[in-house]
């Protein structure tokens, strides 16, 4: 098992992360530079993320559809700010079927343009609105520096695209979906996020307003974990998405877009993992509990496996995602380490003594060694396990929140800000000028993460950079 040992987070956080993704079999490198192969364990985690988000989307009136992977180059050029923002990242197809194409096709980096074109065909009257569509799929952005799950040339996500009759409705939709992302991140992923508004510099290309959920990783860097954009009438005008209102007048729609990607898997790894491997939140974990039967001979095996199978059936019937590790030829210790690496929230051990006593041993992944181990009765085992999984979920969120809050500071001046962002976040007044934002980035490599929607001070302050009057505070941090 020595070769399986991970680098510690303190030694090298980046190497710890990369090695963990590979060793826990979440993903692997593709032969195409910057792309990844998502392995079954990682894909199951993504499916669980999809399931929880999809339920929330449908609960808020959205429906799913699918749009093409290829977009005519002329579509992107219709919204100038949009194409300028994405130009360096575009993958372009120039040939198909052995022939040069009349018009180059872009492999979608995002779908505002193709969906905008379709909406212009479908929307004619105020009766057709609102249109609330989501798409699950993959996109391609030709990133120069890539990292598994966090930033890859091709990645998987969902992108919602909506059209509305009024600006107010579209703005409400933008914030509603930001709340959906916040609810998901906190309650399913146990990742405490701060929701806020992006600066003009950091907003999505072509948007009027971009909102975001920002999470702090264990190395104190920020991770943008989901975004929701109010696009105003920019794309509606570019693609002539118009409708006849109730006064029989022609108007342009107001549109939104919002997305969350496989980057969330990276957020879960870097928020909860430890030096032994992954720690997955029970609500999303592919396997919530692994059951390890322990025996030395055939007689012990018969009695242990009888209890194991009974408990497996009981837990399965209770809806718990459970796996029995009955591999031959490897020790219980090897199995424990293997499942710890994979972050399974709870481990159950059943040996001959447990059979005699009518008990089982439970080991929590979020607590090390003896601290996380307990012996419980086999009676009402489904209720006991369910309660423990709820407790683990809550403990992970509590721990991550405490870690984040202890690394957010309110520096007294610019010199202190420069020190703070080397190992934490600064929450400071900012005059909202691009010059001050650029100075912080140049001096520290930290960027504005978001102007939080909640928790703004009541009084006007002074900008941490230039001393001018400032109405709002912003988070400055280094980011992935």
pLDDT-derived band at 192, boundaries 50, 70, 90: very high
Over residues 71-90, mean pLDDT: 84
Residue 212, classed as helix, strand or coil, is strand
The tokens for 217 are 């990783």
| Percent with pLDDT over 90 in the chain | 94
Does the pLDDT value for residue 2 go beyond 70? no
User: What pLDDT, in 10s, does the model give residues 226-247?
Assistant: 999 999 999 999 999 999 999 9
159 closest CA partner among 251, 261, 22, 73: 261
Domain with CATH 3.40.50.800 in the chain: 289-401
The tokens for 17 are 């992360």
Please give the pLDDT value at position 3: 53
Over residues 135-150, mean pLDDT: 93
Does the pLDDT value for residue 52 go beyond 60? yes
Give Cα separations from 117 to 209, 242, 277, 289, 290 (angstroms): 21, 11, 46, 47, 49
Domain with CATH 3.30.110.30 in the chain: 409-477
User: What pLDDT, in 10s, does the model give residues 452-477?
Assistant: 999 999 999 999 999 999 999 999 99
User: What pLDDT, in 10s, does the model give residues 296-320?
Assistant: 999 999 999 999 999 999 999 999 9
Class of the CATH domain delimited by 2-272: alpha beta
Domain with CATH 3.30.930.10 in the chain: 2-272
Q: What is the mean pLDDT of the chain?
A: 96
Cβ–Cβ < 8 Å for 352, 306: no
Query: Per the CATH hierarchy, to which homologous superfamily does domain 289-401 belong?
Result: Anticodon-binding domain (3.40.50.800)
Please give the pLDDT value at position 388: 98
DSSP for 324-336 reads: E---SSS-HHHHH
Does the pLDDT value for residue 79 go beyond 80? no
Q: Fold for domain 409-477?
A: Translation Initiation Factor IF3 (3.30.110)
CA torsion sign for 93, 97, 103, 107 is: negative
Please give the pLDDT value at position 65: 98
Q: What are phi and psi of 447, to 5 degrees?
A: -120, 165
pLDDT-derived band at 424, boundaries 50, 70, 90: very high
Separation of alpha carbons 231 and 228, rounded Å: 10
Is the pTM value of this prediction over 0.85?
yes
């Amino acid at each position: 098992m020595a070769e399986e040992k991970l680098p510690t987070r303190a030694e090298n956080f980046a190497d710890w992360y990369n090695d963990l993704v590979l060793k826990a079999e979440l993903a692997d490198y593709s032969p195409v530079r910057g792309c990844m192969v998502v392995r079954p364990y990682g894909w199951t985690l993504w499916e669980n993320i999809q399931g929880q988000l999809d339920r929330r989307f449908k609960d808020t009136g959205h429906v799913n559809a699918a749009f093409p992977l290829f977009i005519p180059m002329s579509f992107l050029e219709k919204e100038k700010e949009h194409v300028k923002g994405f130009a360096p990242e575009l993958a372009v197809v120039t040939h198909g079927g052995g022939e040069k194409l009349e018009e180059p096709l872009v492999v979608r980096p995002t779908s505002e343009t193709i969906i905008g074109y379709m909406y212009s065909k479908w929307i004619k009257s105020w009766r057709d609105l609102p249109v609330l569509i989501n798409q699950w799929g993959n996109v391609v952005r030709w990133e120069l520096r890539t990292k598994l799950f966090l930033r890859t040339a091709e990645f998987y996500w969902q992108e919602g695209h909506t059209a509305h009759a009024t600006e107010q409705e579209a703005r409400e939709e933008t914030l509603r979906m930001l709340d959906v992302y916040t609810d998901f991140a906190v309650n399913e992923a146990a990742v405490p996020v701060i929701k806020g508004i992006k600066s003009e510099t950091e907003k999505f290309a072509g948007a009027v307003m971009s909102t975001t959920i920002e999470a702090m990783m264990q190395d104190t860097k920020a991770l943008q974990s989901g975004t929701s954009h109010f696009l105003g009438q920019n794309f509606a005008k570019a693609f002539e998405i118009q409708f006849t209102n109730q006064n029989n007048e022609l108007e342009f729609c107001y549109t939104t877009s919002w997305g969350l990607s496989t980057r969330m898997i990276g957020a879960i790894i870097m928020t909860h993992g430890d030096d032994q491997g992954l720690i997955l939140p029970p609500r999303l974990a592919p396997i919530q509990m692994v059951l390890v039967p322990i025996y030395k001979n055939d007689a012990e095996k018969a009695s242990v496996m009888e209890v194991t199978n009974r408990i497996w059936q009981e837990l399965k019937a209770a809806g718990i995602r459970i796996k029995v590790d009955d591999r031959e030829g490897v020790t219980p210790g090897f199995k424990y380490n293997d499942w710890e690496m994979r972050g399974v929230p709870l481990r159950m051990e059943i040996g001959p003594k447990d059979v005699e006593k009518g008990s089982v041993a439970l080991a929590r992944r979020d607590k090390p060694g003896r601290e996380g181990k307990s012996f419980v009765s086999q009676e009402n085992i489904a209720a006991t396990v369910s309660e423990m999984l709820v407790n683990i979920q809550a403990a992970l969120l509590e721990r991550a929140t405490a870690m984040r809050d202890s690394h957010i500071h309110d520096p007294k001046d610019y010199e202190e800000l420069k020190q703070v962002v080397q190992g934490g976040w600064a929450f400071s007044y900012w005059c909202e000028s691009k010059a001050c934002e650029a100075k912080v980035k140049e001096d520290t490599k930290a960027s504005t993460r978001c102007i939080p929607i909640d928790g703004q001070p009541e009084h006007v302050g002074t900008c941490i950079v230039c001393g001018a009057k400032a109405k709002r505070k912003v988070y400055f941090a280094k980011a992935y």
